[in-house]
């Protein structure tokens, strides 16, 4: 039995089928119907509703307000909430309200700028017999003649987007916008060159010439046209139509989705789809497959010789879901709305002024898997990480060091092609100014600048907390600048030795500063040290050392000696600030060290950490190395002991009293003892009429190192066991008998690092060899401590006992 439908129902079904068919063929049948825009029509920029829509309403041509900056003549997707712009005419030159686009009687398309009353010719189609204009459902805006032949098309003048049915011909360029919201020409371009090669380039932004190609189809000579197929594939075809390569591919249905391919501001060409259904998520979906973006990882692709890379100078590119830009620690975006402009330092760069190196004002932040390939200006290998850090700290050009497996790359600003990538395994050491404290007045007189830096160093060293630091610096700066401004000229309270930052104090000044040499900090064989506050320097604390010498050396010689010391400058030496040479008085003024001496640190109440002790041992050795080998004239300290190693507020070891030996050389030959130095730390050659060399300091250092390792004084009369009285003896016994644990009772931290402890012990034994020639040079000593040079088994240094007691 047949079921017969009533006739009108048949009709209805047929109609529905027809509608469905029309839906399925959006690009063919429907696209052909359009509304004609007749000559003489115009649009005025007033709001976002001034446009000519395509017949389906899916695209519109007209004015869009961009933020509150002005109007863009554009083509956009008009049926979705996010009116996505696919083409624009004036991105580099936004128009004011009231501007007009006119299709005049001659068939020309003109843009009238309301602000300047200037006319911009968009389509010079006069005399070409333009009959009408039309916004097509493909997204193409056309000017056509009476026979509907297109004389001008927006499709052949793309900005940054390709749409289905659009082709990209040879010589055509897509420019990325500057940012997601600023459509002006940005930093990347996509072009099918006249030679047939399809490329992605960075530009010489803000110029739009090609710079570095970061993706290429490698189709020189054969590429002819890029075709955006209706089926969702973008491919490069040769002249005969054969497919050379698929550029992008997408499998989303062409009926259920809007499609586009856009060169985004970040330099990535992406295929996007947007569901047409009313209850869709309402966002453009990207990355359906790996074939829907090129390049696949722009962070790696861009590695250009000139220019900053994917994220701009100093920036870092990280590829996760897509590329994202960030700044290294201590840096921030120059423009948070335009991250590709790169990053700036949040602090003032290190001064390269040789007289006031700011080594101590900087520290490192570590970033893992972070590198700036091609930004290095020096490379060292093989070195230790610590060596790498010190080198960067001491180098005012160094902004970042990269360290990996003994390789140390030193890099300077601006850093280029930065990226964070787990595969690179490099550690970046970012050099940052402590607490951002600096006192570099921008238009300062050069002398004033010097003084400010001096004050700064003092303030930083004296205060312990970063905030206090900052306050102190600020107040100091305000007082100092106020002082200068009031006087209207530079006031020079001290006389300064030319070429040095040494201040010549009067005795009265120092007498006042120390309150009549009242607060004694320490006393040595040749001098007494007092604490003082320089009134003329905003109460800056200093250590004032009064020499007990009565030797009348000539003025000249005294100054010559002083300049040798005054010019020394190292982070592990206490800095000499000035002196007094008045009548009988010989006084030296040093920086004040807030954390006292190593002696009180080692043998005080609390147990200092092994890590800290290692750093101090290393710092002391570096200070010695500088005195022995690196400064202009060799200085033998002659009195290395824990009392003469001071600690600044970062617990960095600073050798003090250096050069006293040299200063008192003539004196020394006349003294009755004849021996410079302190019992227990004195090298045997002092007793043997042997030449005194730098090796005497190495010897003293060896004893000091034992004390640092074992947290014990070199001699303890009340030791439980007679064998334990002399530290060097006992330590060597423990070492030979492999009973190291006896040395480090209740020092869990040290025991966990027993390998290094043993190594340091061996180094100490090498240093205290009786024969000076067996002792390492200071250079070798430093290298051994750093771990760059192997430490061999030391011979028995036993004979030293005789000289100790």
Ligand X SMILES: *[C@@H]1O[C@H](CO)[C@@H](O)[C@H](O)[C@H]1NC(C)=O
Candidates 131, 413, 504, 762: give the one binding ligand X (CB under 6 A). 131
Write out the binding residues for ligand X, residues 278-317 only, by CB under 6 A. Answer: 279, 289
Query: Residue 249 — left, alpha, or beta (φ > 0 → left; ψ -120 to 50 → alpha)?
Result: beta
Write out the binding residues for ligand X, residues 167-186 only, by CB under 6 A. Answer: 178, 182, 184
- Find, among 84, 125, 68, the residue nearest to 102 by Cα: 125
Strands 576-582, 503-504: pairing is parallel
Q: At what angle do helices 778-786 and 610-625 cross, to 10 degrees?
A: 150
Residue 757, burial from CB neighbour count under 10 angstroms (0-12, 13-18, 19+) = buried
Least separation in angstroms between residue 716's CB and ligand X is 50
Can you tell me the distance from the alpha carbon of 755 to that of 763, in angstroms, rounded to the nearest whole number?
A: 12
Can you tell me the distance from the alpha carbon of 786 to that of 622, in angstroms, rounded to the nearest whole number?
A: 10
Candidates 28, 42, 246, 671: give the one binding ligand X (CB under 6 A). 246
Candidates 249, 581, 594, 650: give the one binding ligand X (CB under 6 A). 249
Can you tell me the distance from the alpha carbon of 566 to that of 560, in angstroms, rounded to the nearest whole number?
A: 10
Question: Interface mask (CB under 6 A) for ligand X, residues 429-468, using x and -?
Answer: -------x--------------------------------
Query: Residue 45 — left, alpha, or beta (φ > 0 → left; ψ -120 to 50 → alpha)?
Result: beta
Contacts of 462 (CB under 8 A, 6+ apart): 472, 540, 541, 592, 594, 649
Candidates 146, 486, 518, 755: give the one binding ligand X (CB under 6 A). 146
- Find, among 133, 84, 83, the residue nearest to 109 by Cα: 133
222 scored as a contact of ligand X (CB under 6 A): yes
> If DSSP codes are grouped into helix, strand and coil, which group holds residue 528?
strand
Least separation in angstroms between residue 435's CB and ligand X is 9
Cβ nearer to ligand X, comparing 3 with 467: 467
* Angle made by CA atoms 363, 365, 371, in degrees to the nearest 5: 125
Q: At what angle do helices 778-786 and 754-767 cross, to 10 degrees?
A: 170
Can you tell me the distance from the alpha carbon of 100 to that of 113, in angstroms, rounded to the nearest whole number?
A: 7
Q: Which tokens in the block code for residue 674?
A: 């004849």
Strands (DSSP E) found in 548-687:
576-582, 585-591, 645-647, 653-655
Least separation in angstroms between residue 86's CB and ligand X is 15
Question: Interface mask (CB under 6 A) for ligand X, residues 342-371, using x and -?
Answer: ----xxx-----------------------
240 scored as a contact of ligand X (CB under 6 A): yes
Candidates 42, 96, 119, 251: give the one binding ligand X (CB under 6 A). 251
Contact region with ligand X (CB under 6 A), list: 59-67, 508-516, 773-781, 792-800 = 59-67
Contact region with ligand X (CB under 6 A), list: 228-236, 301-309, 588-596, 688-696 = 228-236
Cβ nearer to ligand X, comparing 154 with 165: 165
- Percent helix, percent strand, percent coil in the chain, to nearest 5: 30, 25, 45
Q: Which long-range contacts (CB under 8 A, 24 or more apart) does 728-733 make?
A: 728/703, 728/768, 728/797, 728/800, 728/801, 728/804, 729/798, 729/801, 731/706, 731/761, 731/764, 731/765, 732/765, 732/796, 732/797, 732/798
Least separation in angstroms between residue 374's CB and ligand X is 25
Cβ nearer to ligand X, comparing 434 with 512: 434
Task: List residues bridging with 216 in a β-sheet.
Answer: 199
Size of the site for ligand X (CB under 6 A): 36
Contact region with ligand X (CB under 6 A), list: 72-80, 229-237, 552-560, 607-615 = 229-237
Can you tell me the distance from the alpha carbon of 656 to that of 93, in angstroms, rounded to the nearest whole number?
A: 66
- Per the annotation, does 545 bind a ligand? yes
Least separation in angstroms between residue 125's CB and ligand X is 15
Candidates 15, 105, 243, 736: give the one binding ligand X (CB under 6 A). 243
56 scored as a contact of ligand X (CB under 6 A): no
Asked if 723 is an active-site residue, the reply is no
Cβ nearer to ligand X, comparing 113 with 591: 113
Q: Cα 313 from chain centroid?
A: 10
Can you tell me the distance from the alpha carbon of 778 to that of 436, in angstroms, rounded to the nearest whole number?
A: 35
Q: Which tokens in the block code for residue 297?
A: 């990882």
Q: How many CB atoms lie within 10 A of CB 769?
A: 23
> If DSSP codes are grouped into helix, strand and coil, which group holds residue 799?
helix
> What does residue 403 show for φ and ψ, rounded to 5 degrees?
-125, 130
| Catalytic residue, candidates 264, 639, 648, 697 | 639
394 scored as a contact of ligand X (CB under 6 A): no
Cβ nearer to ligand X, comparing 237 with 764: 237
Cβ nearer to ligand X, comparing 178 with 359: 178
Question: Kind and range of the H or E element at 103?
Answer: strand 100-103
Cβ nearer to ligand X, comparing 54 with 375: 54
Least separation in angstroms between residue 78's CB and ligand X is 12
233 scored as a contact of ligand X (CB under 6 A): yes
Write out the binding residues for ligand X, residues 652-671 only, by CB under 6 A. Answer: none
Cβ nearer to ligand X, comparing 224 with 409: 224
Can you tell me the distance from the alpha carbon of 21 to that of 417, in angstroms, rounded to the nearest whole number?
A: 52
Cβ nearer to ligand X, comparing 288 with 494: 288
Contact region with ligand X (CB under 6 A), list: 9-17, 150-158, 244-252, 648-656 = 244-252
Candidates 25, 56, 79, 235: give the one binding ligand X (CB under 6 A). 235
Q: Which residues bind ligand X (CB under 6 A)?
A: 34, 36, 47-48, 65-67, 69, 94, 131-132, 146, 148, 178, 182, 184, 222, 229-231, 233, 235, 238, 240, 242-243, 246, 249, 251, 277, 279, 289, 346-348, 436
Pick out the residues of the known binding site for ATP: 545
Pick out the residues of the known binding site: 545
Residues known to be catalytic:
639
């Amino acid at each position: 039995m047949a079921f017969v439908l009533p006739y009108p129902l048949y009709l209805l079904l047929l109609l529905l089928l027809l509608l469905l068919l029309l839906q399925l063929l959006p690009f063919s049948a429907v696209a052909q119907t359009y509304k004609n825009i007749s000559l003489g029509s115009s649009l005025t920029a007033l709001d976002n509703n001034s446009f000519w829509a395509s017949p389906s309403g899916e695209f519109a041509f007209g004015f869009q307000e961009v933020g509150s900056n002005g109007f863009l003549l554009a083509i956009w997707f008009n049926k979705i909430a996010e009116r996505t712009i696919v083409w624009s005419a004036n991105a580099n030159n936004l128009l004011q309200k009231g501007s007009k686009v006119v299709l005049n009687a001659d068939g020309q398309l003109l843009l009238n700028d309301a602000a300047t009353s200037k006319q911009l010719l968009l389509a010079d189609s006069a005399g070409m017999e333009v009959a009408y204009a039309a916004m097509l459902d493909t997204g193409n805006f056309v000017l056509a003649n009476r026979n509907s032949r297109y004389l001008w098309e927006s499709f052949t003048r793309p900005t940054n987007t390709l749409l289905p049915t659009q082709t990209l011909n040879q010589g055509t360029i897509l420019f990325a916008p500057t940012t997601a919201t600023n459509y002006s020409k940005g930093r990347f371009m996509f072009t099918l060159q006249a030679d047939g090669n399809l490329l992605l380039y960075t530009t010489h932004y803000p110029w739009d010439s090609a710079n570095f190609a970061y993706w290429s189809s490698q189709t020189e000579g054969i590429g002819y046209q890029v075709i955006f197929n209706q089926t969702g594939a973008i491919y490069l075809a040769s002249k005969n139509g054969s497919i050379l390569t698929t550029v992008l591919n997408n499998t989303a249905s062409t009926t259920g989705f809007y499609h586009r391919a856009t060169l985004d501001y970040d330099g990535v060409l992406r295929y996007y789809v947007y569901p047409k259904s009313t209850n869709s998520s309402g966002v453009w979906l990207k990355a359906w497959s790996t074939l829907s973006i090129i390049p696949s990882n722009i962070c790696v692709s861009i590695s250009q010789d000139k220019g900053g890379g994917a994220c701009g100078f100093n920036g870092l590119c990280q590829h996760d879901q897509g590329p994202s830009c960030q700044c290294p620690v201590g840096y921030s975006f120059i423009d948070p709305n335009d991250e590709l402009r790169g990053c700036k330092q949040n602090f003032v760069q290190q001064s390269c002024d040789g007289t006031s190196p700011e080594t101590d004002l900087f520290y490192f932040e570590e970033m893992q898997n972070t590198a700036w390939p091609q930004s290095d200006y020096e490379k060292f290998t093989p070195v230790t990480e610590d060596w790498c850090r010190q080198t960067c700290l001491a180098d005012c050009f160094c902004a970042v060091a990269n360290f990996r497996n003994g390789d140390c790359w030193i890099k300077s600003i601006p850093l280029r092609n930065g990226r964070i990538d787990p595969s690179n395994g490099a550690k970046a050491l970012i050099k940052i100014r402590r607490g951002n404290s600096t006192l570099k007045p921008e238009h300062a007189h050069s002398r004033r600048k010097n003084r400010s830096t001096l004050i700064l160093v003092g303030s930083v060293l004296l205060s312990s907390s970063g905030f206090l630091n900052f306050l102190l610096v600020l107040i100091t700066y305000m007082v100092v600048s106020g002082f200068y401004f009031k006087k209207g000229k530079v006031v020079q309270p001290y006389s300064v030795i030319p070429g040095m930052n040494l201040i010549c104090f009067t005795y009265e000044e120092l007498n006042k500063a120390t309150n009549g040499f009242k607060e004694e900090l320490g006393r040595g064989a040749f001098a007494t040290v007092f604490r003082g506050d320089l009134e003329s320097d905003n109460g800056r604390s200093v250590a004032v050392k009064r020499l007990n010498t009565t030797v009348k050396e000539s003025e000249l010689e005294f100054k010559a000696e002083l300049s040798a010391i005054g010019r020394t400058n190292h982070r592990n030496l206490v800095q000499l600030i000035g002196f007094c040479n008045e009548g009988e008085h010989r006084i030296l003024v040093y920086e004040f060290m807030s954390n006292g001496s190593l002696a009180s640190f080692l043998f005080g109440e609390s147990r200092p950490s092994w890590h800290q002790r290692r750093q101090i041992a290393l710092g002391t050795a570096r200070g010695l190395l500088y005195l022995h080998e690196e400064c202009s004239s060799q200085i033998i300290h002659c009195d290395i002991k824990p009392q003469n190693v001071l600690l600044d507020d970062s617990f960095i070891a600073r050798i003090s009293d250096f050069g006293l030996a040299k200063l008192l050389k003539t004196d020394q030959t006349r003294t009755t003892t004849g021996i410079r130095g302190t019992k227990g730390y004195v090298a045997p050659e002092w007793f043997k009429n042997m030449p005194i060399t730098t090796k005497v300091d190495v010897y003293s250092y060896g004893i000091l190192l034992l004390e640092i390792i074992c947290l014990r004084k070199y001699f303890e009369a009340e030791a439980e066991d007679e064998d334990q009285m002399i530290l060097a003896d006992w330590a060597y016994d423990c070492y030979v008998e492999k009973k190291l644990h006896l040395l480090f009772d209740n020092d869990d931290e040290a025991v966990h690092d027993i390998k290094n402890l043993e190594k340091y012990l061996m180094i100490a034994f090498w240093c205290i060899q009786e024969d000076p020639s067996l002792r390492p040079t200071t250079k070798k000593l430093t290298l051994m401590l750093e771990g760059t040079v192997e430490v061999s088994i030391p011979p028995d240094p036993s004979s030293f006992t005789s000289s100790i007691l």
